[in-house]
Amino acid sequence: MTWKYVCSATDVPKNTLKQFDADGIMLVVANYGGRFRAFPPVCPHMEEPLEESGIIANCVLTCSKHLWSWDLGTLSMLGETEKPLKTYDVKEEEGKLFALIDKELVYEFENSDGDDDDFFK
Ligand code: FES
């Protein structure tokens, strides 16, 4: 596992999310009240880009598409949310944010439009 530089802490204002490329791994950094979380850039529900659909209020991340939400402090699932948020550990050193990345975290999604990939095999 390696700590990879992601961004400056000031790149992500309070209660916002921003997407970054950390040495080839796309991730989103969330600033919730001055603390940070880093996680894959898509919603675990239906792959919505969280940089666009995510809203942070009162330490809670909500995907505005179907209102799945997570407590960013405890990472517990709230309301009707059915999948946990996968996260990378984050540390802040001298105003810079680093994420502990072993391999890219991904979610498994059900194939909703049939198994088109098999068509070409
Ligand atoms: S895509 Fe995010 S809640 Fe459905």
Q: Are 46 and 35 in contact (CB under 8 A)?
A: no
State in Å: Cα 2 to ligand 1 middle.
30
Q: Which residue ranges make up each domain of the chain?
A: 2-102
Cβ 43 under 6 angstroms from ligand 1: yes
Tell me which fold the domain 2-102 belongs to.
Answer: Rieske Iron-sulfur Protein (2.102.10)
Q: Is this model's pTM higher than 0.85 or not?
A: yes
| Ligand 1 geometric centre to CA of 93 (Å) | 33
Determine the distance separating the centroid of ligand 1 and the alpha carbon of 59, expressed in angstroms: 18
Q: Is the CB of 83 within 6 Å of ligand 1?
A: no
* pLDDT, average across residues 92-97: 97
Q: pLDDT (tens digit, 9 = 90+) per residue, 59-86?
A: 999 999 999 999 999 999 999 999 999 9
> Tokens 């799945």 appear where?
68
